């Protein structure tokens, strides 16, 4: 039992700190104390990963598995949570309302994500996903003022609820036929002969499961909610949603996919290919002439999920399937770091000046002339999203490309290339806007007195760290690549 | 010391990044210290490395890290140091430091002091990476890096549109060569599976025999890159225009270092060129024609910097000639001496321009011998070396090249008999070189004064000039330890007559220049003022009308076709792609209406599609 606790130390730390934080809020509200507690929780949990690493892999109950893979993603989740917490302080300070619960919700949401990446069983999978999701609903609706956050939260609540119900129903159908809910068990049972009429149930169940997961990952055609929710949520939450929520669910999907050996079913692979191609094209096309920065990033996230699905599809075709896992994990890490940087910068630009988020492309017009550093950093983040060399985004895309070529998935690669080509347009359009001279008498970050945009030491530290990581991993990716190559699933 | 070679490119790089990030907020003194100091420190490290290398004598390679290892593709950040690299490093950091020091005074009044040193340091870093790279991909990074820095520095005074046009021309013309080179790299990688230079050359040697087609194509493509970067025929037209940049830039980039990168590339991959003797012959011919064409042109220019620019093209032609006849060491030797005396001449020209209110027309100068004595002596020594007068550095290197050309004993085709012709062509170039360089000296420094200098160069300009004077004089006595890098060449066994002609030709050139431009005693006006003479002068003045030719056969047809095609079917394809994207965007955007019932419907719709797809396949 003791090793069981050790193997789940990080989630336990997060749970305990969440409880303490809850009590603190109940007794005496104090924003700074809550913020400090939130930071402490994330930092302690990151430190707790070290003793966990000593005893992995370790199965704790049939539900959870602590292994290198789950540890790596836990670290990414906790890192993203910490960054979000650090940035949220500045962001919330300039807005009215009580901020303490924000940090509590972040902790709980991250806890859900960590359970998700350790899940080896449908029960823990659902548990993690719901914990992650329910906390997110509240986070999205967190700002008291403004209609958009509330609208976004309600949309996400209803649609996500529906998606979860479909997912659950799908698993129920599968359980009805196979009689097992563990990932490995499902895979084994699927290889046994199945009666003709029961095959239909399996088929329906699979379709429903992928509908549910596709919704959470905003895969076309389940992507409709994405721009509205991204736009409505406060920027730090959007960043959290884009990185932690999507990342954890994809990591869990990858485990389910490999444990249950789903890659051997041609029909499923074909369906996923269709969805991936649709995502790559539709996501990029939707972003093409979009003027809202958060919506651009939302659409681009749809395309990125499309790219990521190539790694799932190629897994079964490769002679060394390890390459697919490496590509997926590297791409996901790259995407998380880059998205965090982009949203952090948007959050910084927004947090100093106005009550509402400054997320229209006109708001950053001429930013380069007033805040060259911020503009340069945003440019680097956008270039990384576009996959330009010497940024981490390039290495990630190159990885997927190599995996795709090894697996001869030409149609998917064509979609990847066309999609990337289109994406250059809207990423560079933002850069172009930043270098333009500002309009006379317009309203935006550029028109404020440059001295009014004060970066706190904290925000500076956060964005510098993220930019450094993006460039470092773009120039020296080998350490991370070797580490990810050693992750076994 | 050898394990610390990574510091050599890192120091200027870090300095450049700091200068960029601080964006001119540092005090000028500190900018100067960082800009020149970083290159100076690199030069000291190169000195130490060179000392140690003299004892070691075996190539040293250092892998800093592997960029990424995906499948078979594992390009490394690795450096390879042999004697050739050490020579290049010494030239780049040594001459580079002197030019940086000179710049601290030359650019003193410029408001963009920091930006200038940021670009210059970045250039030095890229150039160092180029020559230290152990694989062609890293070399290509440096290659493109110097190209970008050259673009930025030629257009340094960007507010004048003429400078912008010049920098664009430099960038676009070299891009033609770079594309060829990139294709060459792709070909070599697909054929040999590696881009690491030494293993690649070994693999090439074991895989192909002399005269095979594929190494010939690869060498030809690499040659394309080399002629672009080194401003040789037919891609030389960018270099004269590139003089729009500040003069020290011309000295560093467009005389001493970057333009010799093509020579370095061919020397570095000489194993490949040896497999393709026809291409090697082409290298020699390109060199010969370029050196003659540029020498004639230099004779007719009036702008002091353009004379030097054409002279640079011509001298690099000599280096190509040397490579082409297999005199590898002589080519690199001339590269080094040329770096000394041409940097000296450019810096001298910069001093003249600096002290004469930015006057560049040599016919508006004159009589500067007593007014700018330091500059006069620099120019005299530089011109003597350029003209290859006996006992100057240029004499030793050029003499070796000419003798090697004379002795060329090929085994096939034209190389059997062409040697003496190459030699004769080189001699014509040599006499022209002597004439145009001393024309410059006599017109600018003798005769009556037409413009008064308003200042004297300070020590930071005078010291680099003096040091380069010394190097230009004694540089010929340096013995380059290149024997182990290149295949051995037999000792020269030519008659005293040939040697005597080679020595006396430059002297005759100087004599002619003296008679025409100083004594005015040769009746050349009769010819130059005749209609034929005028036509020839104009023709040569315009650089054999090459710009016009390219304008007529490439630019005009291109823009003409582009204009004619406007609205034609070919254009419609591209417009069609745009409309398709915009149309799909508009169509898809309409689905994002914000209505939740529609979102939920689309989800169900997606579920139905999934079920159908799954059911249909299974």
pLDDT value at position B49?
A: 87
Q: Check pLDDT > 90 for residue A23.
A: yes
Which pLDDT tens digit goes with each residue over B22-46?
877 888 889 999 989 999 999 999 9
Mean pLDDT of A179-205: 89
What are the pLDDT digits (tens) for B556-584? 888 888 887 776 777 778 888 888 989 99
In this complex, do A271 and B584 lie within 8 Å of one another by their Cβ atoms? no
What's phi and psi for B578, nearest 5 deg?
A: -60, -50
Please check whether residue A179 lies inside any domain of the structure: no
Q: For testing the chain B interface, which of A155, A173, A222, A376 should be mutated: the one with the most B CBs within 10 Å?
A: A222
Cβ contact B68–A207 (<8 Å): no
* Higher local confidence (pLDDT), A480 or A166: A166
Residues A258-265, mean pLDDT to the nearest whole number: 89
When comparing pLDDT for B478 and B272, which is higher? B272
Q: Which of A93-102, A459-468, B192-201, B261-270 is the least confident region?
A: A93-102
Does a structural domain hold residue A160? no
pLDDT of residue A222: 93
pLDDT per residue as tens digits for the range B174-184 = 988 999 999 99
Residue in A158, A257, A238 with CA at minimum distance from that of residue B599? A158
Cβ of B613 within 8 Å of Cβ of A270? The answer is yes
Contact A221 B618 (CB under 8 A): no
Closest by CA to A416, choosing from A402, A429, A401, A433, is A401
Q: Do A285 and B581 touch (CB under 8 A)?
A: yes
- In this prediction, residue A446 carries a pLDDT of 44
How far off is chain A from B218, nearest CA to CA, in Å? 26
For residue A455, the 8-state DSSP code is P
With a pLDDT cut of 90, the percent of chain A lying above it is 64
* Cβ-proximal residues to A369 (8 Å cutoff; 6+ apart), any chain: A435, A437, A438, A446
B residues 205..234 contacting A (CB < 8 A): none
Q: Using the beta-carbon criterion (under 8 Å), do B603 and A221 form an inter-chain contact?
A: yes
B582 Cβ under 8 Å from any chain A Cβ:
yes
Average pLDDT over residues B135-155: 91
Averaging pLDDT over each range in A287-301, B99-113, B361-375, B587-601, which range is the top one?
A287-301
- The angle subtended at Cα B417 by Cα B412 and Cα B419, nearest 5°, is 105
Q: What is the mean pLDDT of chain A?
A: 89
Distance CA B33, CA B103 (A): 11
pTM to 2 decimal places: 0.81
Given a cut of 90, whether residue A296 has pLDDT beyond it is yes
The helix/strand/coil state of B617 is helix
Q: Is residue A56 part of a domain?
A: no
Q: Assess if residue A340 is contained within a domain.
A: yes
Tell me the CA distances in angstroms from B134 to A327, B60, B268, B539, one per residue in order. Answer: 28, 10, 10, 44
Residue A481 Cα to chain centre, angstroms: 20
Spatial distance between the Cα atoms of B183 and B191, rounded to a whole number of angstroms:
12
**Whether the bond into A59 is cis, omega within 30 of 0:** no
d(C-alpha A167, C-alpha A181), whole Å: 13
Q: How many Å apart are CA B246 and CA B117, to the nearest integer?
A: 12
What is the rounded average pLDDT of the residues B331-355?
90
Which residues lie closer than 8 Å to B434 by C-beta, 6 or more apart? B387, B388, B389, B505, B506, B507, B508, B509, B510, B512, B513
Neighbours of A420 (CB within 10 A): 17
Question: For position A1, what pLDDT does the model report?
Answer: 54
Beta-carbon separation of B613 and A274 below 8 A: yes
Check CB contact of B615 with chain A, cutoff 8 Å. Answer: yes
Candidates A207, A220, A224; nearest CB to B611: A207
Domain that holds residue A334: 265-489
Secondary structure of residue B133 in the 3-state scheme: strand
Query: Which among A225, A270, A476 is the nearest to B65, CB-wise?
Result: A476
Task: Look at chain A and report how many structural domains it folds into.
Answer: 1
B605: closest CA of chain A, how far (Å):
8
Task: Measure in Å the smallest separation between the Cα of A292 and chain B Cα atoms.
Answer: 13
Enumerate the residues of chain B whose CB falls inside 8 A of the CB of residue A262. none
The yes-or-no verdict on residue A354 having pLDDT over 70 is no
Q: How far apart are CA B453 and CA A41, in angstroms?
A: 73
Residue of B nearest to A167 (CA): B607
Mean pLDDT for chain B?
86
The pLDDT-based confidence of A352 (bands split at 50, 70, 90) is low
Q: What value does the mean pLDDT take over residues A82-88?
A: 92
Put simply, the answer to whether A204 touches B611 (Cβ < 8 Å) is yes
**A113: CB partners within 8 A, 6+ apart:** A77, A128, A132, A244, A245, A247, A248
Tokens at B48, concatenated = 């130490």
CB contact under 8 A, A395 and B68: yes
The pLDDT confidence band at residue A230, using thresholds 50, 70 and 90, is: very high
Q: Report CB contact under 8 Å: B603, A162.
A: yes
Inter-chain CB proximity B602 and A211 less than 8 Å: no
Helix (H, G, I), strand (E, B) or coil at A264: helix
Q: What is the per-residue pLDDT for A451?
A: 47
In the predicted model, what is the mean pLDDT of residues B422-430? Answer: 89
Provide, for chain B, the percentages of residues in helix, strand and coil under a 3-state DSSP scheme, each rounded to the nearest 5. Answer: 75, 5, 20
- pLDDT for B148 equals 92
A252: pLDDT confidence band, cut at 50, 70 and 90?
A: very high
In this predicted structure, the answer to whether residue A397 has a pLDDT above a threshold of 90 is: yes
Across B254-273, average pLDDT: 90
Distance CA A470, CA A384 (A): 7
pLDDT of residue A355: 61
Q: How many CB atoms lie within 10 A of CB B472?
A: 28
Name the band, by pLDDT with cuts 50, 70 and 90, for residue A439: low
Confidence of residue A449 (pLDDT cuts 50, 70, 90): very low
Using 50, 70 and 90 to split pLDDT, how confident is the model at B212?
Answer: confident
Report if residue A138 sits inside a domain. Answer: no
Q: What is the pLDDT of residue A445?
A: 47
Return the number of other C-beta atoms located less than 10 Å from residue B207's C-beta: 13
Task: Give A102→chain B minimum CA distance, Å.
Answer: 27
Structural domain includes residue A133: no
What is the torsion angle, in degrees rounded to the nearest 10, for the CA atoms of residue B473, residue B92, residue B149 and residue B109? -60
Q: What is the pLDDT of residue B219?
A: 92
Q: How far apart are CA B525 and CA B534, in angstroms?
A: 10
How many residue pairs from chains A and B have C-beta atoms closer than 8 A? Answer: 110
Q: Where residue B495 falls among pLDDT bands split at 50, 70, 90?
A: confident
Write the DSSP assignment of B182-240 as a string of letters: HHHHHHHHHHHS--BHHHHHHHHHHH--TT-HHHHHHHHHHHHHHHHHTT-TTS-THHH
Q: Sorting pLDDT into bands at 50, 70 and 90, what band is B353?
A: confident
Rg (CA), chain B: 27
The lowest-confidence range among A2-16, A127-141, B78-92, B413-427 is B413-427
Please answer whether residues B123 and B153 qualify as being in contact, where contact means their C-beta atoms are separated by less than 8 angstroms: yes
- Find where tokens 């704790």 sit: A60
Is B600 in contact with A159 (Cβ distance < 8 A)? yes
Q: How far is B11 from chain A (nearest CA, A)?
A: 18
Greatest distance between any 2 Cα atoms in chain B: 101
**3-class secondary structure, A8:** coil
Alpha-carbon distance of B604 to A163, in angstroms, equals 10
**What mean pLDDT comes out for the span B531-538?**
78
Q: State percent of chain B over pLDDT 70.
A: 97
Residue A321 lies in a domain: yes
Mean pLDDT throughout B187-197? 87
Q: Given this model, what pLDDT does residue B106 score?
A: 87
Tokens matching residue A136: 């997110």
Residue B492's pLDDT band (boundaries 50, 70, 90)?
A: low
Task: Give B76's contacts in chain A (Cβ within 8 Å).
Answer: none
Note the pLDDT of residue B490. Answer: 64
Q: How far apart are CA B374 and CA B463, in angstroms?
A: 10
Which helix (H) or strand (E) segment holds residue A309: the answer is: helix A293-315
DSSP three-state, residue B105: helix
Q: Is residue A19 part of a domain?
A: no
- ipTM (interface predicted TM): 0.89
């Amino acid at each position: 039992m003791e090793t069981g606790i050790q193997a789940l130390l990080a989630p336990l730390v997060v749970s305990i700190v969440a409880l303490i934080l809850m009590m603190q809020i109940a007794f005496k509200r104090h924003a700074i104390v809550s913020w400090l507690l939130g930071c402490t929780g994330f930092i302690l949990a990151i430190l707790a990963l070290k003793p966990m690493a000593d005893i992995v892999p370790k199965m704790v109950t049939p539900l959870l598995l602590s292994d290198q893979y789950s540890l790596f993603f836990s670290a990414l989740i906790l890192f993203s949570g910490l960054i979000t917490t650090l940035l949220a302080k500045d962001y919330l300070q300039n807005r009215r309302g009580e901020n303490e619960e924000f940090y509590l919700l972040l902790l709980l949401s991250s806890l859900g994500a960590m359970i998700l990446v350790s899940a080896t069983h449908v029960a823990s999978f659902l548990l993690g996903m719901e914990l992650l999701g329910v906390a997110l609903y509240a986070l999205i609706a967190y700002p008291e003022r403004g209609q958009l956050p509330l609208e976004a939260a309600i949309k996400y609540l209803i649609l996500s609820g529906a998606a979860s119900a479909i997912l659950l129903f799908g698993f129920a159908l599968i359980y009805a036929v196979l009689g097992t809910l563990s990932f490995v068990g499902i895979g084994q049972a699927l290889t046994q002969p199945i009666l003709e009429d029961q095959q239909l149930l399996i088929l329906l169940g699979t379709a429903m499961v992928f509908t549910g997961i596709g919704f959470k990952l905003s895969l076309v055609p389940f992507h409709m909610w994405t721009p509205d929710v991204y736009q409505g949520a406060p920027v730090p939450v959007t960043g959290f949603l884009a990185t932690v929520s999507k990342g954890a669910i994809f990591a869990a999907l990858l485990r389910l996919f490999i444990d249950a050996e789903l890659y051997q079913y041609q029909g499923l692979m074909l369906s996923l290919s269709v969805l991936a191609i649709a995502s790559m094209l539709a996501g990029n096309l939707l972003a093409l002439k979009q003027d809202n920065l958060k919506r651009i990033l939302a659409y681009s996230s749809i395309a990125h999920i499309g790219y990521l699905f190539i790694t799932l599809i190629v897994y079964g075709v490769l002679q060394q399937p390890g390459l697919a896992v490496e590509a997926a994990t590297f791409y996901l890490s790259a995407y998380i770091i880059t998205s965090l940087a982009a949203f952090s910068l948007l959050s910084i630009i927004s947090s100093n000046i106005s009550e509402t988020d400054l997320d229209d492309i006109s708001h950053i017009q001429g930013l380069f002339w007033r805040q060259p550093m911020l503009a340069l950093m945003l440019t680097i983040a956008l270039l990384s999203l576009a996959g330009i060399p010497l940024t981490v985004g390039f290495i990630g895309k190159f990885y997927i490309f190599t995996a795709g070529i090894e697996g001869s998935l030409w149609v998917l690669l064509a979609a990847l290339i066309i999609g990337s080509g289109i994406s250059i347009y809207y990423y560079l359009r933002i850069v172009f806007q930043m270098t333009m001279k500002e309009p006379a008498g317009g309203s935006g970050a550029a028109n404020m007195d440059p001295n009014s945009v004060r970066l706190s030491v904290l925000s500076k530290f956060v964005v510098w760290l993220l930019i450094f990581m993006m460039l470092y991993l773009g120039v020296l990716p080998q350490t991370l690549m070797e580490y990810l190559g050693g992750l076994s699933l | 010391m050898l394990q610390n070679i990574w510091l050599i490119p890192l120091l200027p790089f870090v300095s450049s990044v700091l200068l960029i990030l601080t964006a001119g907020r540092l005090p000028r003194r500190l900018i100067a210290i960082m800009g020149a100091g970083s290159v100076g420190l690199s030069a000291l490290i190169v000195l130490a490395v060179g000392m140690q290398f003299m004892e070691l004598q075996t190539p040293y390679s250092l892998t800093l890290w592997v960029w990424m290892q995906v499948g078979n593709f594992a390009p490394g950040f690795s450096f390879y140091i042999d004697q050739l690299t050490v020579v290049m490093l010494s030239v780049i950091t040594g001459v580079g430091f002197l030019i940086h020091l000179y710049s601290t005074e030359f650019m003193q009044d410029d408001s963009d002091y920091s930006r200038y040193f940021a670009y210059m340091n970045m250039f030095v870093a890229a150039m160092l990476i180029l020559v230290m790279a152990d694989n062609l991909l890293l070399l290509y990074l440096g290659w493109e890096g110097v190209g970008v820095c050259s673009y930025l520095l030629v257009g340094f005074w960007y507010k004048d549109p003429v400078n912008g046009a010049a920098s664009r021309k430099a960038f676009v013309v070299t891009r033609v060569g770079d594309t060829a080179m990139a294709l060459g790299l792709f070909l070599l990688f697909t054929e040999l599976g590696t881009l690491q230079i030494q293993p690649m050359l070994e693999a090439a040697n074991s895989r192909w025999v002399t005269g095979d087609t594929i190494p010939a194509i690869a060498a030809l493509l690499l040659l394309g890159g080399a002629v672009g970067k080194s401003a040789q025929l037919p891609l030389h037209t960018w270099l004269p225009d590139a003089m729009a940049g500040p003069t020290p830039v011309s000295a560093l980039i467009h005389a001493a270092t970057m333009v010799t990168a093509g020579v370095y590339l061919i020397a570095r991959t000489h194993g490949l060129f040896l497999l393709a003797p026809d291409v090697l012959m082409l290298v020699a011919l390109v060199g010969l024609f370029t050196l003659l064409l540029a020498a004639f042109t230099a004779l007719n220019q009036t702008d002091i910097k353009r004379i030097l620019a054409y002279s640079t093209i011509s001298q690099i032609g000599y280096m190509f000639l040397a490579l082409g006849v297999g005199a590898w060491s002589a080519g690199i030797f001339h590269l080094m001496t040329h770096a000394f005396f041409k940097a000296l001449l450019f810096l001298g020209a910069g001093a003249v321009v600096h002290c004469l209110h930015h006057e560049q027309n040599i016919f508006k100068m004159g009589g500067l011998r007593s007014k700018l004595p330091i500059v006069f002596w620099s120019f005299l020594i530089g011109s003597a070396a350029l003209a290859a007068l006996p006992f100057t550095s240029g004499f030793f290197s050029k003499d070796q090249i000419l003798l090697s050309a004379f002795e060329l004993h090929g085994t096939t085709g034209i190389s059997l008999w062409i040697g003496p012709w190459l030699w004769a062509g080189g001699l014509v170039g040599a006499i022209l070189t002597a004439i145009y360089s001393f024309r410059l000296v006599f017109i600018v420094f003798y005769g009556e004064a037409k413009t008064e200098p308003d200042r004297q160069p300070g020590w930071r300009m005078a010291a680099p000039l003096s040091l380069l004077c010394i190097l230009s004089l004694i540089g010929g006595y340096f013995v380059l330890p290149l024997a182990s890098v290149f295949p051995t060449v037999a000792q020269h066994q030519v008659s005293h007559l040939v040697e005597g002609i080679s020595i006396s030709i430059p002297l005759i050139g100087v004599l002619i220049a003296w008679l025409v431009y100083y004594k005015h005693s040769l009746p050349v006006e009769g010819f130059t003022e005749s209609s034929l003479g005028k036509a020839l002068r104009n023709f040569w003045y315009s650089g054999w009308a090459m710009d016009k030719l390219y304008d007529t056969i490439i630019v005009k047809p291109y823009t003409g076709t582009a204009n004619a095609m406007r609205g034609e079917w070919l254009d419609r394809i591209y417009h069609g792609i745009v409309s398709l994207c915009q149309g799909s965007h508009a169509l898809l955007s309409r689905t994002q209406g914000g209505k939740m019932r529609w979102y939920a419907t689309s989800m169900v719709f997606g579920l139905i599609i999934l079920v159908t797809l799954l059911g249909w396949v299974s």
